[in-house]
């Protein structure tokens, strides 16, 4: 079945599967015709095609989805946006596309209050951390446990 690309816990719709698994995405003309919905979410995780493009480091797919007006701020069931997914996956290309997209909320919070900046600090993804800071992400944001990005090892004093 189509789940080989996503793992057995995933439940991709055909549109989501196509965007992530198709190497010839450049030939695709993205239009929401025939009932295709760029904002459809998987049942199990709540991920959109843009989340999956970020998770699987598919910058070509992410670019096409954003060009077709995909919403960069839809949250999955954990509250992750595609930017959180790009940071988690260390998907540098998708990350760069998302932070340059004016509609992307750089300070979006997961359900536990984690912002992309806090996540980048926790994961030690220094390049992304620096880029988020230079794009004016909120360096004073704290998660629900009072942790912040600098340092991300304990509560803010």
Calculated CA dihedral for residues 148, 150, 154, 157, nearest 10 degrees = -80
Task: List, for the chain, all residue ranges whose pLDDT scores fall below the cut of 70.
Answer: 1-36, 150-157
Question: Does a structural domain hold residue 153?
Answer: no
In a domain, 5, yes or no: no
Using DSSP's 3-state secondary structure scheme, residue 147 falls into strand
Q: Which range marks the domain in which residue 20 is found?
A: 12-135
Distance of CA 109 to the CA centre of its chain: 12
Domain at 128, CATH number? 1.25.40.20
Q: Within 2-157, where are the H helices? A: 14-21, 49-55, 59-67, 82-89, 92-100, 116-123, 126-134
The rounded mean pLDDT for the chain is 82
Give pLDDT, residue 39.
85
Tell me the C-alpha distance between 48 and 10, whole Å: 12
Q: Give the pLDDT score at 12.
A: 52
Q: Is residue 62 part of a domain?
A: yes
The distance of Cα 2 from the centroid of its chain, to the nearest Å, equals 22
């Amino acid at each position: 079945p189509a789940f080989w690309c996503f793992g057995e816990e995933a439940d991709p719709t055909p549109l989501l599967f196509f965007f992530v698994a198709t190497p010839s995405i450049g030939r695709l003309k993205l239009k929401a015709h025939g009932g295709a919905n760029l904002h459809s979410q998987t049942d199990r995780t709540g991920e959109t095609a843009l989340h999956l493009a970020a998770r699987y480091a598919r910058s070509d797919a992410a670019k096409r989805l954003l060009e077709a007006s995909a919403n960069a701020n839809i949250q999955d069931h954990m509250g992750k946006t595609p930017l959180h997914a790009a940071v988690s996956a260390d998907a540098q290309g998708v990350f760069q596309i998302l932070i340059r997209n004016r509609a992307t909320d750089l300070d979006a919070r997961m359900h536990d209050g984690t912002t992309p900046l806090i996540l980048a600090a926790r994961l030690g993804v220094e390049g992304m951390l620096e880029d988020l800071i230079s794009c004016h992400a909120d360096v004073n944001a704290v998660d629900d446990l009072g942790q912040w990005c600098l340092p991300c090892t304990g509560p803010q004093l």
